[in-house]
Every structure is written in structure tokens, then in C-alpha cells.
Amino acid sequence: MKDALPNKHKDKKAEEWALIHFGRFLLYVTIVWYEFTGAILLTTLFIYFKFHYALLALIAILLLYRIRLPFEYNGALYLKWMRKNSWLRLVNNAEPWETIFMEKLDATEMYMIVGYPHGMLPISWLLFLFDLAKHNIFPRAFVADIVMRIPGCREITLLLGGVNASWKSIKKACEQGQSMFVLPGSITEMKYNDKKADKHIYVIKRKGFLKASLQYGYTIVPVVGVGVTDLYSALIIPSEWFKRLFGIYPFVPFGEYEVCFPRTVPIHNIIGKPIKVEKNVLYTEDDVTKLSDKYYSGLQDALDHYNALYSDDYELKIVTES
């Protein structure tokens, strides 16, 4: 089998490896900052204030974060330079991850970039956006509503160009002529993908992004991430009431050192050929089905491209959920 380590990590000198390890350290810091800023601030609140005052403040904060604000949908807080010039670019270069284009994308065109699989924590997809920034492609990233309800996490997500995944956000992005990045599979995919040494990539078939593409005439770009599901394992609790309330199953991820840091594994993001879509406000279910066949066929082509490059034998498994 051909070596699956991306070229940017071959033939490195000692000083270059030092930068790589420093980049990985920055990744750890970033994950802690991103995921636990709110928790650290709230803990500080309880340390320095009397319990009943801290409790009242906590309740007030959580209630405030239940309010859906306009900039969650319109991307008003997005700072493009954070993707193009951020220290996360160094983090991206530190990881054995690469992006492969089957066909060059036009930075002036509007795309709906749709990736599979989601992964337990989409760290690699976040850094994938930094790879796109090198090509002057800055899609609006759609994230689950629960992310917008977490203190600290919401603000960081908004600054990096994330918006609440909803039709309202899609409409705003179209009005502003913005490209979009979507991970339609959600964390639910992990109950299929969380298997060691499995050469299958399970993807949950969705139609929402297809309908949006038809309604607004967006070109769809299929992307498959090989290795994404190897970054983390997880304990997933199949609690239906929790999912109805928050949109996801409760889960505990663990990776490097059995904590929330991702494992050091090769990731290959294969960007498939763009699929042109004619705007059709009066689309039918048959139109959606035909576009669905084109998209998932394009996703399969992207995976076949990876298999051909690295003499591998990954298979795509489509899962249809009610």
C-alpha cells in the first residue's frame, strides 16, 4: 500500500519537526480555549463570588444564551483575516492532513461545499476551512444550534465565520453572495463510523442541502474526508429526549491521551468535481432525488480518487434514516 502520509510531512528537517510539534501544542491550546472558555469563566464566577450570586448570574447567562441573536444568522461578526492569517494556519501545517482538488474551484463563484463524514468533533473540518482560505475561498460554515448556546464557544465560532444552521442563514448567505460549507451528517453518524480499522465510511443521506441548492441555484461541491472518524472515539448515549431538546445525542469524546485532543492520524480531504445546479424555486421531489443521486455519486467519485492515489480500498456506505 502506498504511504498515506501527506507530502507536506515527508523529508522534514529537525527544525521543521520542531515547528510541527509547536503547531500541535497550539492545536491543544486552541481546543481547550474553544471548548472550555465558557466553563473556565463560569468556574471563576463561583470561586470569586458568593454561591447564590454566582448561581443567579449563571442562570442569567444561560437564559441570555437561549436568545437567538441576528448575528448568529447573518455572519456580521465574521473576521475573514482570522481564517487567512490566524495562528491556526500554523496548526493546520502541523497536522498530517491535506486537501486534494479533483478540479480547481473558482473563488468568484458561489458554492455549497458539502462534506462527509461529520466526525465526533469536526476539528479537521475547521482546519479544512483554512486550507480553502489559501485559495481565497471563504464559505460561511453552518454549525449546530447547540454550539450557539455555549458561552464563549458561540463568540469564537462567529468570529471564525460560523452561523446557525438554518434556512434563515441560507437565505442571508444567498442575499450576500456567500459560499456555504455544510456537514449534513451530524454527530449521529458516529454510531456507524466509530469502529476501529473499518474501511467503510458511513454517511447519512440528507435532502435539506439539496433543496436549498435547487431553490437558490448553488453549485454543489462534494467533499469526503478520509481519516476524519479516526481522530476520536466516543461513548454515545442514545437518549432521544436529549436529542429532541438539543439536536444531538449526549457523548463523551476521547482521542490522544484518552482526552479531548485529536489523535495524530493522516487526514485526506478530497474535493470532488462541482455539480452545477439550475435555480428552480418550484422543484419537485423527483428533482431532489435526481440531484441526490448526482451528489452521492460525486462523493463516491471523490473517494475512488483517494483509493486510486493511495492504493487503498475504502468504501462508501449510504445510510437512510427516517
DSSP result, 84-142: HHSTHHHHHHHSSEEEEESS---TTS-EEEEEE---SS-HHHHHHHHHHHTTT--PEEE
d(CA 255, CA 77): 31
Residue 150 confidence (pLDDT) above 70: yes
What gap in Å lies between CA 111 and CA 221, rounded to an integer?
7
Retrieve residue 147's grid coordinates: 454550539
Strand partners, 100: 270
Average pLDDT, the chain: 78
**Range 124-130 average pLDDT:** 85
Mind listing the pLDDT tens digit for each residue in 240-286? 666 666 666 666 777 777 666 777 788 899 999 999 999 998 999 99
**What is the pLDDT at residue 254?**
74
More reliable by pLDDT, 38 or 158: 158
The answer to whether residue 1 scores a pLDDT higher than 50 is: no
pLDDT at residue 196, rounded to an integer? 57
**How is the chain split among helix, strand and coil, in percent rounded to 5?**
45, 15, 35
In the chain, where are the structural domains located? 7-319
Q: How far apart are CA 69 and CA 72, in angstroms?
A: 6
pLDDT tens, residue by residue, 213-233: 999 999 999 999 998 888 877
Amino acid letter at 68? R
For the cut 90, the answer to whether the pLDDT of residue 114 exceeds it is yes
Cα–Cα separations (whole angstroms), residue 87 to 8, 18, 84, 231: 18, 16, 9, 21
